[in-house]
Chain A
Amino acid sequence: MILYTTLKQNDLSAVTAEQLFRHFSDQHHGIRRIRRYTKYTITGTFSSAMLFSKISNSHIFHNPNKHVLITDPQSFPLKTAYFCVSRKSPLNLTSKVTAVQKLLEKNDTIESVFESDIWGFDTDSPIDPASFITDALISSPDSIAPFAHPHIHDVTHLSHDDIAHSILQLMAQ
């Protein structure tokens, strides 16, 4: 099961990243605005519909005062370019595993909860994802890109369809 959350207010990490490109880089890559989402991947044996309903009523993945637990693909604007920054060796969020396990029925189990970031970029013109990843996303000694560290992160381009599909699939259950 995949969940997405985002902040209701301005995401300060995204704002700071925008300012980094705007004020401290010669190459803005045409970036007008940066958005940030959190993606949780939950694995195990359970009914996704049941678990999503219980998660929605819990504060395990979102604080309703601060976060939106995304149920509508329109939360991801269509013309934004999305990239997922995930760990090469995912770290299992064991505290969340324990919390989610408590929501489940007796025979259901949670194996893992992995977290990754999705960064969305509104740009002046369409970008080439491969070169954007190299030039604007992956950190290096000579670039201003802050989002992914090559030693521990992988970066993949996500289409809006990819994201919408996973949300609609969850909602349909």
Chain B
Amino acid sequence: MTVAVIQFPGSNCEAETLDALTSLGIPNELISWTNDGDIGHYSGFILPGGFSFQDRIRAGVIAAKLPIIKRLKHASATQQIPIMGICNGAQILVESGLFSTDDSMTDIIDLNYVNDHAIGFMCDWGFLTPFNAQQNVFLRQLNDTDVFPIQICHAEGRFLSKNPPISGLRYCRFDGKTDDSFPITPNGAPLGTAAISNAAGNVLAIMPHPERSIIPERVPLSIRHVIQSYGLKLANIQTLFKAFSS
């Protein structure tokens, strides 16, 4: 069962995403946004990070309107295929209306805005913890008390939703305590939301980068010192990808 990683003009994280899947023993294939063949045989999809269509008009909106996304939405609705959108991939999925709970667009990922300032692009490491983990296929190997470090790298990562998400990930301190103020939540996202699930639980839009964070040696020394000093038992971020191999 093969996972398809969809490449758009301007995607730049597809190689890392493919490498992450390969390192976890998950068969994978890179497909183009122009693919008009059958996609029903793939066991899952990842939309990788980057700047599809240069973020023209709004990050992810152009890619979200393309035929391949329509077909992805159909596969999601009819087969509940696992779909993960990472960073720009998350923006594309949100702009496609996959998370909408009615006929209108109920969710958007807006630009980073903290204390009345647009803070621009940020690249750092932080911690995430799940909420209602059992309600999403990518999170159900985790408990709501789990914590893991992850790389954050975006200028537009602030989830805004008409309704609170049913499941997802939140920014937290190293000890798992959630805090929606800066710097724990680095982008001003209400409730410290870092990832959201759709209602059916088969789609996850995650703004930080799990594909960059699965190799323990990539975790910065400063974070590893915190982990060691406090004797923290952190969750294994690799479990996020287990949905693709089950």
- In the complex, identify which listed stretch (B38-46, B103-111, B133-141, B202-210) lies at the interface while the others stay far away: B103-111
Query: Are A141 and B57 neighbours in the complex by a CB distance under 8 Å?
Result: no
Q: How many A-B residue pairs have CB under 8 A?
A: 65
Which single residue of chain A is at the shortest CB-CB distance from B94?
Answer: A149
In the bound assembly, the distance between CA atoms of A24 and B61 in angstroms comes to: 13
Binding site for B on A (CB under 8 A): 12-13, 16-17, 20, 24, 91-95, 139-142, 144, 146-147, 149-152
Could you say which residues of chain A place their CB within 8 Å of the CB of B103? 140-142
B125 interface hit (Cβ, 8 Å)? no
Given A149-B105, A151-B107, A20 contacting B62 (CB threshold 8 A): yes
Which of B62, B64, B160 is most buried by chain A, counting CB atoms within 10 A of its CB? B62
- In the complex, identify which listed stretch (B113-121, B146-154, B170-178) lies at the interface while the others stay far away: B113-121
Which single residue of chain B is at the shortest CB-CB distance from A15?
Answer: B56
- Of the candidates A142, A150, A152, the one whose C-beta lies within 8 Å of that of B110 is A152
Could you say which residues of chain A place their CB within 8 Å of the CB of B58? 146, 149
- Of the candidates A16, A142, A152, the one whose C-beta lies within 8 Å of that of B57 is A16
Which of A24, A94, A151, A152 is most buried by chain B, counting CB atoms within 10 A of its CB? A151
CB distance from B58 to the nearest CB of A (A): 7
Could you say which residues of chain A place their CB within 8 Å of the CB of B61? 139, 146, 149
Given A91-B113, A141-B96, A141-B100, A146 contacting B57 (CB threshold 8 A): yes
Query: Are B57 and A17 neighbours in the complex by a CB distance under 8 Å?
Result: yes
19 further contact pairs, Cβ within 8 A, besides A140-B97, A141-B100: A12-B56, A13-B56, A16-B56, A16-B57, A17-B56, A24-B67, A91-B111, A94-B116, A94-B117, A94-B118, A95-B118, A140-B103, A141-B96, A141-B97, A144-B65, A146-B58, A151-B105, A151-B107, A151-B108
Could you say which residues of chain B place their CB within 8 Å of the CB of A13? 56-57
By size class, the interface of chain B is 20 to 34
Could you say which residues of chain B place their CB within 8 Å of the CB of A142? 97, 103
In the bound assembly, the distance between CA atoms of A141 and B55 in angstroms comes to: 19
Could you say which residues of chain B place their CB within 8 Å of the CB of A24? 65-67
In the bound assembly, the distance between CA atoms of A141 and B111 in angstroms comes to: 21
Could you say which residues of chain A place their CB within 8 Å of the CB of B32? none
Query: Are B104 and A140 neighbours in the complex by a CB distance under 8 Å?
Result: yes
In the bound assembly, the distance between CA atoms of A140 and B105 in angstroms comes to: 5
In the bound assembly, the distance between CA atoms of A39 and B184 in angstroms comes to: 34
Query: Are A141 and B105 neighbours in the complex by a CB distance under 8 Å?
Result: yes
In the A-B complex, the 3 residue pairs with the smallest Cβ-Cβ separation, listed nearest first, are A141-B97, A13-B56, A146-B61
CB distance from B85 to the nearest CB of A (A): 15
- Of the candidates B65, B67, B73, the one whose C-beta lies within 8 Å of that of A146 is B65
B225 interface hit (Cβ, 8 Å)? no
Could you say which residues of chain B place their CB within 8 Å of the CB of A95? 118
Could you write out 24 A-B pairs with CB less than 8 Å apart? A12-B54, A12-B56, A13-B57, A20-B65, A24-B65, A93-B118, A94-B117, A95-B118, A140-B105, A141-B73, A141-B96, A141-B97, A141-B104, A142-B97, A146-B58, A146-B62, A147-B57, A149-B61, A149-B105, A149-B108, A151-B107, A151-B162, A152-B108, A152-B160
Could you say which residues of chain B place their CB within 8 Å of the CB of A141? 73, 96-98, 100, 103-105
In the bound assembly, the distance between CA atoms of A170 and B162 in angstroms comes to: 39
